[in-house]
Amino acid sequence: MDKYAKRRAKLASWLESKGIAAAMFEDTEGRRDPSIRYLSGQPGDAVLFVTAKGRSVLVPWDENMAARYASVDRIVPYGAYGRQASKAIEAMAVDEGLAHGSLVELPSATPYPVFVDYAAEVENLDFTCRSDGADEFVLGLRAVKDEAEVELYRRAAAITDEVADEIERMVREGRARTEADVALFIERACRERGCEGTGFDTLAAGPGRSFGIHAFPNYTAAPFATEGLSILDFGLKLDGYTTDVTMTFACGKLDPKRERMVELVERAYAEAVAMCRPGTATRDIALRVDGIFDGAGMKMPHALGHGVGLEAHEAPWVRSREDNLWKLAPGHVVTMEPGLYDPEAGGVRLENDVLITENGFEVLTKSRIVRL
């Protein structure tokens, strides 16, 4: 049984226990879901069914791609169903011998009008579609990295650090002068080192643009790491799994406001990381950081962190919202990324990826605030 079949077996037991005959996963433009890759190896652009009996049926957009990457019981070309998901669902149910009226779980991202259409068009099945259903169960599996995944993260982190170190050298030696210089170096360097690419659009913002949480456009031909605060947020994707780090380059003698922002972020980061251990509520960590910033009359306009994996942002969530009930557990890999932003002073953010271990934590990446 390969790793995909093992993962599907866990899902199948869960489905069985919930009285669900099959669950559907969908990865299409506008509704990406890397759980398809987690459960089948198929990189994307497909519909996947997993039944409570443990059977898997993949309906890919690109058959050649599926033949090369997918490890499932059956591959059925999308064209066979007139490119209509409702027909694919109906046919899957017949081919897999699902009883009339069986319950099928749809992806939680299924748009309301699409759900209504499925319900009207598919007569042989009942549907459920919940925010805490089968895909949420798989997100829970994904949140806890197994040994092989942790090993992959160590390799991805080492490459990320190597690239970050080289960027610091390039900046110090005047070999990288613009946002594009830095971002394009990352794009090339990661591929030369065996990565699939970057895990998300690199954000490189020089002092004139670092006021934005996520710079727009994400990088330009503007100067980087000149006088003031510059932010570099990037991640490298290795075999599907992405790192996510942010460095700030603080250049020149900072005025008191910028100096204060840098110190606050460094302090918040240190306190947040130190709280990481199994059992800790991530909300408590986020509230601690909020408190540090509140005490200085400042406010962080985004969440403190998030899990990383096949998606750059995934469970577990690290935020101060009341509905965040996540507790850290061994195998979680989360970012800690306090940041402060000011329309005039610019922004500062520090972010690393933290593995939760049996007894505490291990910071996988070595991103930092660089003073120039």
CB of 246 to a copy of itself, least distance (A): 15
Separation between Cα atoms, residue 297 and residue 18, nearest integer Å: 49
Q: Could you list the beta-strand ranges (E) of 18-90.
A: 22-27, 46-51, 56-60, 74-75
CB of 327 to a copy of itself, least distance (A): 21
Residue 257 interacts with a copy of itself (CB under 8 A): yes or no? no
- Residue 306 contacts residue 285 (beta carbons within 8 Å): no
Residue 80 interacts with a copy of itself (CB under 8 A): yes or no? no
Neighbour tally for 91: CB within 10 Å = 15
CB of 219 to a copy of itself, least distance (A): 7
Residue 335 interacts with a copy of itself (CB under 8 A): yes or no? no
Residue 331 interacts with a copy of itself (CB under 8 A): yes or no? no
Residues 6+ apart with CB under 8 A from 112: none
Separation between Cα atoms, residue 176 and residue 164, nearest integer Å: 12
Residue 162 interacts with a copy of itself (CB under 8 A): yes or no? no
Residue 281 interacts with a copy of itself (CB under 8 A): yes or no? no
Residue 83 interacts with a copy of itself (CB under 8 A): yes or no? yes
Separation between Cα atoms, residue 60 and residue 30, nearest integer Å: 16
Residue 110 interacts with a copy of itself (CB under 8 A): yes or no? yes
Tokens for 73?
């019981």
- 97 burial (CB, 10 Å; 0-12 / 13-18 / 19+) is exposed
Identity of the residue, 133 or 336, whose beta carbon is nearer to a copy of itself in the bound complex: 133
Residue 214 interacts with a copy of itself (CB under 8 A): yes or no? yes
DSSP one-letter code for 309: S
Among 14, 25, 81, 219, binds a copy of itself (CB under 8 A): 219
The amino acid present at 271, given as its one-letter code, is E
Residue 43 interacts with a copy of itself (CB under 8 A): yes or no? yes
Separation between Cα atoms, residue 200 and residue 43, nearest integer Å: 16
Residue 191 interacts with a copy of itself (CB under 8 A): yes or no? yes
CB of 110 to a copy of itself, least distance (A): 5
Binding site for a copy of itself (CB under 8 A): 29-32, 43-45, 61-65, 67, 69, 79, 82-83, 106, 108-115, 117, 129-131, 180, 183-184, 187-188, 191-192, 196-197, 201, 211-214, 216-221, 299, 301-302, 313, 321-322, 341-343
